[in-house]
A and B are shown apart, each in its own frame.
Chain A
Amino acid sequence: MKKDMIIKRFTIKNFGKIHDRTMELSPGINVLYGENESGKTTVHTFLKSMFYGIQRQRGKAARTDTYSMYEPWENPAVFGGTLWFENGGKNFRLTRNFYKTDQSWEFLCEDDGEVLDLEKGDLDAVLGGVSEVVYENTVSVAQLKSVTGQDLVRELQNYMASYQGTGDSELDIGRAMQMLKMNRKGFQVQAQKRQKETEKEQEKLVAKMDYIRSEMQNLNDQREDLRARETSLHMTEEENGEAILDARIEKIRKNQKSFYATLLATVIVALAGIFVLGQVLSGSVLPRIVVGILGILALGWEGIHIRNLSEELERRQRMKARWTQKQEKMRWNRENLDEALKEKEKALENLQTDYQEMQDNVYLPLAQEMEIEALNLAMDTITRLSSNIHKYVGEGLRRRTSQILSEITGGRYTEVLMDEGLHMMVNTQERTVPLANLSRGTMEQIYFALRMAAGEVLCGRERFPVILDDVFGMYDEERLAAVLGWLHKEQRQVIISTCHKREMEILEKEGIPYNRLVL
């Protein structure tokens, strides 16, 4: 029993510019012929929309989305049609209305009359896991977009690489990874900035601590200085300067006292001398006068001496007062210095605590680190999943592409190769030729082979119709004949849409049966 998916018939009720058209399709080659702007693309979009619905874009994008482009101008409440298709040997009928406020559908298995439910995923099941994007990558084949050779090479290589690594020709893993890396770079720069800021703050703290340390050093020096001066003033415990001064004053006082005693003694001796002489040598005045004079002289001398002594005492006492004052000042200085030092020590201690706290916070994760981790995970996951796909698509796709290419070129090119840098080459029987050295026609053939191979590899067991949208424009007659011959040989449903008559002429010339649809 045939397992292929075949579109048998469709009726476009109202879709874009097409109204009330029904077309019957053959299970083999169909040629959809129409002038430019006659609605070929409308037919393709209709078919895809029947299978996958129309996703509305949000916001501004809605103005130019598929819905708006194909919304009928007249009678927009009727927006859709009916599709009859066969899959897995069963016949289905699917009717849809896409109108935004009145979306409806009816899905029926015609063989057993079973009513199926789109919302329960019955259609997905019937399509056997061929999702919308897989459909875009396999069923629907558009012409190459590039005009110039260089772009063409790039486009083709990208197709191949994307198919092999993602199963989706529209994806560009390289650019996606680039974007993720740039994103990561942004966060890394931010994180570094934060880190630098923290370091700067730490440096500031260190500078503050250094400053306090130098202030403490300064205070310490002053204290040393003070201590030296104290020592020079005999300010040690054993040899107290105060005691020395006091002893000196005491000595002068004693001296003074003894002089007062001497003075008294002198007076007594002189008076006694005068008295005794008067008794012994009465009448003779002279000796008494002499003694008296001597006594007066002695008293005078002693008086001067006493005055000197009390002057010295005063001096000494003044000295002591000065010294005490100085000492007071030094003690006060020392106490101030000690207090300042203690204060600085505390301040330093506090700064050290600040620094420690900061150091502990350095290990807290930054918000950016989480973003970086997420970006790394994204990149790793993409790489891993892509290499998975590569495992089951990559080599199979390359081999099947080579085979098809060989068949449609009559064995001229036997193999498609791809190096590590994703550069494509083809193998002729004699040598490998880089893509850039091939003619446009050959590149078109490689593209065709690749797309056909992708259809087989990516859809898995299911064989879907192939819709070729204007892809043979650049083919010469010989190449076209070979490709059409190959399509016929493959015995699958093909819809060739074209604005040329060449395809039909060649099909007729080659005697290949086809179904003609004219728009």
Chain B
Amino acid sequence: MIRFIHLADVHLGAVPDRGCPWSREREEEIWETFRRVIASISKNPVDLLFIAGDLFHRQPLLRELKEVNYLFSTIPDTQIFMMAGNHDYLAQDSFYRGFPWEPNVVFFERESPMVVKAGELDVYVTGLSYEHREIREPLYDSLKPEIQDGFHVLLAHGGDETHIPMDRTALGASGFDYIAMGHIHKPQSLIRDRMAYSGALEPIDRNDMGEHGYIEGRFENGQVRTRFVPFACRSYQKLVLTVREDSTQYSLEEMMKMDIMKRGGKNIYKVVLQGWHAPETLLFPEKLRALGNVAEILDETRPAYDLEALSRRYSGTLVGDYIAYFLKKDMTLVEEKALYYGLQALLETGMNLK
């Protein structure tokens, strides 16, 4: 049995959400979680570790490579296969070039694919590195494992138009036992137990919603089994608050405090306000920022107006014309917002508050 861990897109050195209060901490946490992975491997060694590109967010510094190499030296029983992705691509003067790696590390140093055997194990890993920020050629689609016996792995980074486009069907039929992919930050299995993006180890910014971690797998009797292991120390989550007609700023804040308490104060939230609020109630969504780690607030609430009833009641006056003007067409989001903003302003400032 061969055990392996597949991770990608660690983005060491990234500074997430510049300007947000948690930015500094996150920068350090990205390093820390990588160290934690290595420490956990050291405690419970696996045979293989695949790092499918973008270990670094930018061009790695020499001391950073030295630190990573030192970490690798603490897991000498694990054979490590790694590549440079589009973020940490092999620039002309990259410190990656010619770096003296530990003996247990295989670093693919060319942009053309090559196959490396893992020591005495019957493991054959095909891989390459990015030597450019962008690669538009589908370098992976035609690859096939050469030798019949053993565990055949393809280490691949990219999958979109400008980063090695991939024909997933062709790759699925290529004969590799496992394709360890990187580049897309959201963990996703493309073919069960055969082909997967492990996703970023830690979320890199507010766009990386949901769980993050790595993929753990085993190869036994020609069969691969994998499972996703959540490992990030916190996550970005969508927090939907549903506003009702009797909601107030206070009740909204209480609701959010409760939700954050339930889901963890450390997580970073993208708050979405939905529902209908009483037209006369003023809500201040921006004030919710103070209640936790809030990366973004989207206010999708609308004043609870019955447009049809209003348009009947106000027909022949400005309010009637106003509603009719917007309702007679397919509204864009901006137009819908405009409709409610204007309506609220007209009706709430009028003298008629019956």
Chain A residues with CB under 8 Å of chain B are 52, 55, 58-60, 66, 124, 129-134, 136-137, 165-168, 170-173, 175-180, 183, 190, 197-198, 200-201, 339, 342-343, 346-347, 349-350, 353-354, 358, 367, 370-371, 373-375, 377-379, 381-382, 385-386, 388-389, 458
Contact = CB atoms under 8 A, between A and B. Distances in A.
Contact of B325 (A129, A172, A342, A385): A385
Given A59-B245, A59-B246, A343-B63, A378 B342 contact: yes
Given A354-B15, A370-B334, A167 B298 contact: no
A382 B323 CA distance: 10
Contacts of A60: 246
14 contacts: A55-B309, A133-B320, A137-B317, A168-B350, A171-B317, A171-B319, A175-B349, A176-B342, A180-B341, A197-B19, A378-B339, A378-B342, A382-B318, A386-B318
A389 B321 contact: yes
Interface string B303-334: 01000010011111111111001100000011
Contacts, number: 155
Contact of A170 (B298, B334, B350): B350
Contact of B318 (A130, A168, A343, A374): A168
Given A198-B19, A374-B334, A374-B341, A129 B316 contact: yes
| Interface size classification for chain B | 35 or more
Contacts of B263: none
A219 to B, nearest CB: 14
Given A55-B309, A130-B316, A136-B352, 7 more contacts: A124-B312, A170-B350, A170-B352, A176-B349, A347-B61, A367-B296, A379-B342
Contact of B245 (A58, A178, A388): A58
B28 to A, nearest CB: 17
Q: Which 8 A-B pairs have the closest CB atoms?
A: A378-B342, A374-B337, A170-B352, A166-B318, A350-B58, A175-B349, A131-B315, A377-B338
A519 to B, nearest CB: 23
Nearest to A189: B286
A135 to B, nearest CB: 10
B185 to A, nearest CB: 16
B338 A133 contact: no
A29 B58 CA distance: 88
A170 to B, nearest CB: 4
Contact of B350 (A172, A377, A458): A172
A167 B342 contact: no
Interface in B43-90: 58-63
A389 B320 CA distance: 11
B275 interface: no
A382 to B, nearest CB: 6
Contacts of B297: 367
